[in-house]
Amino acid sequence: MAAALDAGRPVVALESTIVAHGLPRPDNLAVARQIEQTVRDHGAVPATIGMIGGEVVVGLDDADLERMAAGDDVAKLSARDLAPAAAAGVDGATTVASTAAIAARAGIGVFATGGLGGVHRQAETSFDESADLATLARTPVCVVCAGVKSILDVPATLERLETLGVTVVGYGTRRFPGFYLADSGHEVDWSAGSPEQVAAILDARRDHGVCGGAVVVANPLPVSEQLDPALHDRVLADGLARAAAEHVTGKQVTPHLLAHFHEATEGQSLAVNVRIILRNAELAARIAAAASP
Ligand code: PSU
Ligand code: MN
């Protein structure tokens, strides 16, 4: 990994929370490998990030990926968790927030994920807003995602991204994607139509040096590949009600709702989630290849 970075080769950072907590076993390991292969197939070097025995690893090897995918005691590490987890010497999976922070520190400019964390529904009473947002506000990295997870309050998340000064660019669209759905029903101000156009935005951002935060590239699924919207809305309503009834809070909320989706749609949401991640990995690799080192 260090050699690839030194040589100025295109590198794409990948998070490990998707593997450890976002996707069910045993598919998660195969998907983790597929994501990395997709990055390679499109001209970049994959760097899955995580913590192994208290060490931050940029570029997990296959044995590390197996550990992430199999472990019951793999902690979910946001940026604030990194130091205590390192001191305790544990294994941990990094979220969007911690992966972005580590990637930027390591000199990796492009990062692919599924969907960002954001403002949860009923955040006006729970104050539940993912640390992904505040971290992206101060982290110079390009994050390719399919918007924010549709389990969240999407318009509130877009408002917070605006407040925090995070640049949001639709890929081939001015509509903000809805993760499992092609369109969240909300607009964005900017779009880019090719990896080269995204690279031009990244260059301009660096040259002007006035906005230090992330550039979010929101890459929608084609309508033909989205989850059936009626099924989506039904399963979401049911999942939110169950999470409330079972008093699920804090960092458990996201994995709980994603697991509910995968069960209640009998794997349909899982297949869509995997497609989202692979498409984002491909686009991120093409952006990394187009971007100047
Ligand atoms: N996107 C996915 N699956 C996931 C996540 C995102 O398709 O599992 C993870 C990311 O790691 C993201 C985290 O940073 O969920 C957000 O969790 P929280 O809401 O607790 O911050
Ligand atoms: Mn939260």
15 is catalytic: yes
Reported as a single tens digit per residue, the pLDDT across 5-23 is 999 999 999 999 999 999 9
What is the model's pLDDT at position 199?
A: 97
Residues having CB closer than 6 A to ligand 1 are 15, 17-18, 21-22, 95-97, 113-115, 117, 130-132, 149, 251, 254, 258, 273
In whole angstroms, give the CA distance from residue 53 to residue 205: 36
Distances (CA, A) of 121 to 177, 236, 257: 18, 11, 12
Residue 176 φ then ψ, to 5°: -80, 125
Confidence of residue 150 (pLDDT cuts 50, 70, 90): confident
- DSSP, collapsed to helix, strand or coil, labels residue 183 as strand
Reduce the DSSP state of residue 252 to 3 states and report it: helix
Please give the tally of structural domains in the chain. Answer: 1
Q: CATH number, domain at 157?
A: 3.40.1790.10
Atom of ligand 1 nearest to the CA of 149: 1
Buried-state track 243-276, b at ≥16 Cβ within 10 A, e below 16: beeeebeebebbbbbbbbbbebbeebbbebbbbb
- Supply the mean pLDDT for the chain: 95
User: Could you tell me the residue range of the domain that residue 77 belongs to?
Assistant: 2-291
pTM, two decimals, is 0.96
Q: How far is residue 231's CA from residue 171's CA, in Å, rounded to a whole number?
A: 26
Q: Are 165 and 213 in contact (CB under 8 A)?
A: yes
